[in-house]
Structure 1
Amino acid sequence: MSMEQVILLQGGIGDFLQCIPFAKANSHAVKYACVTHLKGAKEFFETIGIELEILSIFKTEEEKIRLVNALPKRDQYLNCPRTQYFLVNPFKPEKPLFNNGKPVVGIHINGSAYAIKTQKKMGVALKSIPAKVIKEIVSASYNVVVFGLKDEIEPIGLMQSDTLKLITNENPAISVAYVEQCNAVIASDSGIKTMSSMLKIPTMVWLGDYQDLPRDQMFIDPYVRDGVMSIFRYRDVNAQFDEGIRQSKDFLRTVL
């Protein structure tokens, strides 16, 4: 009996965003299996209309390896092809957050819990950046929308207003749908920055200054070359915080 080909989706939301164009175009032609650390992965794929034959969630690298090795041997697994940009936004538009005519700046300060745990083991700069970035970026000149999980955002103590909104939906597909409303994005190395880059929204990323070839080749360098993404690199985010804010404000003055 010949082996059936199954498209394998691995990683987190940034990986899945780059896979969506292929998956949407071939949603009924092939089968999909997913091994991920993404909270809300089930809701994410249901929302965009991709049916998964297998969905396995891991919390550690060891668990990830075990789950991949446990995939049924009767099938042949192929990594999902990626796309750098969306030709059409695959997410249903959400109701506009603001009606005052000002530009909108999106901010995301956290990486995934899995990524941060892995970085701590490696001893490299973490993806999460200080919450005070938000208060430094807030301005009367534009609206701000802050993205993050509820347990990440609540401790910061931000109050929503006519010019500041919080997006903390547990369904990642709904959260990333709001990125389309942004005129610019400032973010950690996270799925939000991938979403904004794929929509060609000017994006500044606070990026840990260490070698990571898969990260750079898939999620950073192509967008920097195209002028969509700007980078602030840090080894010690607290020591370099003032420089990061200066570069971020310069970036916003340029793109808004």
Structure 2
Amino acid sequence: MEQVVLLQGGMGDFLQCIPFVKSNKHGIKYVCVTHLKGAKLFFEAFGIKLESLSTFNSEQEKIELLNSLPRGPEYINCPRTQYFDVNPLDIEQPLFDNSKPVVGIHINGSAYSIKTQKQFGMVLKSIPAKVIKELISNNYNVIVFGLRHEIEPIGLTQSDTLRLVSHENPAKSLAYIQQCNAVIASDSGIKTMSSMLRIPTLVWLGDYQDFPRDQMFIDPYVSDGVMKVFRYKDVHAQFNQGIRVSKDFLQAVL
């Protein structure tokens, strides 16, 4: 009986599944249930063929989709891996032609996650856009990651030391993380990619209990010294503290 592997969740979940999938392409069918925009393009970029792809926009839709899937001994959740041995994405042309180090910044969580957090009155993943302007420096280059509708309202102007990366295909944007010497990010797939590449990463993280999040995406990388975390209950009240932590982090790793 052919085994069926379930890929469910968002970008961070899938990144941790990529090593298994790329090593097990034959004799296995992959079924995906996700909220990730551009999921089809994402998997194509990794050379992964899906048996089926279903998307949801709410927790209720997610439950209904998962409950509609067949059950059986051949049906398993995809095994995860903490790090990439080799970057699974093609290397993009360098965005900068100077010798300065590069800092990647990402301030948004997924639209689905933010919608769910608002619904349950949780601390939001998104962090203020002014984080970017506070961290721009003459000492290093900056790549700002995000969807076009997230980045454009900030009013940033690209320059020799500032680039904006916003592709319809999320994997295309992820490919530029390899160019970063450090990453400062919200709790998003960007920080998972940088951590899996062992790039020093600081995460602005909502301070609330989330055991799956911490066990899969935070604690292992913190324990290994790849990731540091700034936890906040009120991101606006603690903003200046977060900027100090971020600048201290960059000074230490660059």
| TM-score tier (shorter) | over 0.9
TM-score by length of 1: 0.97
Report what 2:106 is aligned to: 108
Determine what percentage of the aligned residue pairs are the same residue: 74
Deviation at 1:70, TM superposition (A): 1.8
Whole-Å Cα distance in 2 between the matches of residues 209 and 74 of structure 1?
Answer: 38
Whole-Å Cα distance in 2 between the matches of residues 73 and 226 of structure 1?
Answer: 37
Deviations 1:210-255 (A, max 9, x none): 0000000000000000000000000000000000000000000000
| Stretch of structure 1 that moved more, 179-188 or 114-123 | 114-123
SS of alignment partner, residue 105 of structure 1 = strand
Q: May I ask how many residue pairs the two structures share in their alignment?
A: 254
SS of alignment partner, residue 132 of structure 2 = helix
Whole-Å Cα distance in 2 between the matches of residues 202 and 192 of structure 1?
Answer: 12
Deviation at 1:42, TM superposition (A): 0.2
Deviations 1:160-188 (A, max 9, x none): 11100001001011110100000000000
Amino acid at match of 2:107: I
Amino acid at match of 1:80: C
Report what 1:92 is aligned to: 90
Q: Does 1:204 align with 2:199?
A: no
Whole-Å Cα distance in 2 between the matches of residues 27 and 14 of structure 1?
Answer: 20
Instruction: Name which of 130, 143, 154 aligns with 1:156.
Output: 154
| Stretch of structure 1 that moved more, 204-213 or 114-123 | 114-123
Deviation at 1:71, TM superposition (A): 2.1
- Compute the RMSD of aligned alpha carbons: 1.1
Q: Does 1:47 align with 2:48?
A: no
Deviations 1:35-61 (A, max 9, x none): 000000000101111100010000001
Whole-Å Cα distance in 1 between the matches of residues 60 and 139 of structure 2?
Answer: 47
Q: 1:80 and 1:73, CA in 2 relative to 1: closer, same or farther beyond 3 A?
A: closer
SS of alignment partner, residue 207 of structure 1 = strand
The answer to whether the Cα contact below 8 Å between 1:31 and 1:53 also exists between their aligned partners in 2 is yes
Report what 2:236 is aligned to: 238
Deviation at 1:29, TM superposition (A): 3.1
User: Which contiguous aligned blocks of 4+ residues in structure 1 show a shift greater than 3 angstroms?
Assistant: 72-76
The answer to whether the Cα contact below 8 Å between 2:102 and 2:181 also exists between their aligned partners in 1 is yes
Deviation at 1:4, TM superposition (A): 3.7
Report what 1:220 is aligned to: 218
TM-score by length of 2: 0.98
Report what 1:30 is aligned to: 28
Whole-Å Cα distance in 2 between the matches of residues 28 and 160 of structure 1?
Answer: 44
The answer to whether the Cα contact below 8 Å between 2:230 and 2:245 also exists between their aligned partners in 1 is yes
The answer to whether the Cα contact below 8 Å between 2:195 and 2:221 also exists between their aligned partners in 1 is yes
Deviations 1:63-98 (A, max 9, x none): 011111222457842100000000010001111100
Amino acid at match of 2:7: L
Report what 1:68 is aligned to: 66
The answer to whether the Cα contact below 8 Å between 2:2 and 2:27 also exists between their aligned partners in 1 is no
SS of alignment partner, residue 204 of structure 2 = strand
Listed as ranges, the matches of 1:181-192 within 5 Å are: 181-192=179-190
Whole-Å Cα distance in 2 between the matches of residues 9 and 74 of structure 1?
Answer: 16
Instruction: Name which of 10, 13, 31 aligns with 2:11.
Output: 13
Whole-Å Cα distance in 2 between the matches of residues 168 and 43 of structure 1?
Answer: 14
The answer to whether the Cα contact below 8 Å between 2:2 and 2:28 also exists between their aligned partners in 1 is no
Whole-Å Cα distance in 1 between the matches of residues 73 and 169 of structure 2?
Answer: 30
Whole-Å Cα distance in 1 between the matches of residues 251 and 168 of structure 2?
Answer: 32
The answer to whether the Cα contact below 8 Å between 2:3 and 2:27 also exists between their aligned partners in 1 is no
